[in-house]
Chain A
Amino acid sequence: MRYFYLILTTCVLLTGTLVAAGQAPDFKLKRMNGGEFILSEELKKGPVLIDFWATWCKPCKKALPKIEYFHKTYADSGLQVVTISIDNPKSKSKIKPFIKGQKYTFDVLFDSNMEVRKLFGGKEIPLSVLINSDSEIVFKHLGYKPGDEKKIEEEILKTLGIGETSSGKDTNEEND
């Protein structure tokens, strides 16, 4: 009988999801450089790419140079890139010297008790979430391995309406 309820629960939740799927939950977090980040306010300026990471997470740190690249390359096209550190008190003090030491220029937010990470389901990292200016989650990617940045970039270009991957552009430029 319990499996009946398990299936029922899952079906109802999935149905509920279909009704309201894709909308990003709003949240407010403190910025490393001072001030507050409110997602709904930032979305008024354009799409937002969120990357969850921590100083102890090796794949997360591998992904950060790619995140920095997106920040530098697509800021002029309207993309806002923020990273959210879920470092707890044990490692929170390492965030600032690490970010500054690596010369990263993207925005860093603190989510020490993982409240915001859990809003997006689960607590595994790295997690990349791309949200368009209508507050819809257009892309969500868990984990990082070499090559994943291409998938993320394709989605960024689609969201920004540019429609061509940078590798595609390069090819075209070379052909030209």
Chain B
Amino acid sequence: MSTPLNKLPIQAVINGEPKMFLAAPGQVLADVLRDELELIGTKIGCNTGDCGACSVLVNDRLVCSCLVLAAEVEGQSVQTIEGIADGAVLHPVQQKLLEHGGLQCGVCTPGVVVAAKALLDSNPNPTEEEARYWLAGNLCRCTGYDKIIHAVLDAAEAIREGAAS
């Protein structure tokens, strides 16, 4: 396979910070995040949009970064797992996954966290069914999903209580 010499300079806001990076015309965002920007929290599982491990937010829209070309995010904002916690303070979804034991091997976890955050941003009080459907594109081979779902619903409650107090 030939390596294209015509890499494109891309400017985008990554986790709130303006960044400039080079991307080959056919390079997907997941590869650029990991290889160029060293944001290796984003995991690559299937590389075909089936498993959700590479989930990120592009302009607050939940997508699989393996199915987005890096060149497409020119001028846009990208949020990855590295941008979810507030410094050392975990996002409630992260905290509740820890408390519930909602992860084992951890490969799906960054994608689950990003997807769950997107859910709770748009729907602060999801039913269990809504949470399960929303997260249906995040495959986990370890937990059997129950602990993930309980953690997400618990995080939703924690966020609502935090907002009320």
Say if A and B assemble together.
no
Residues of A within 8 A of B (CB): none
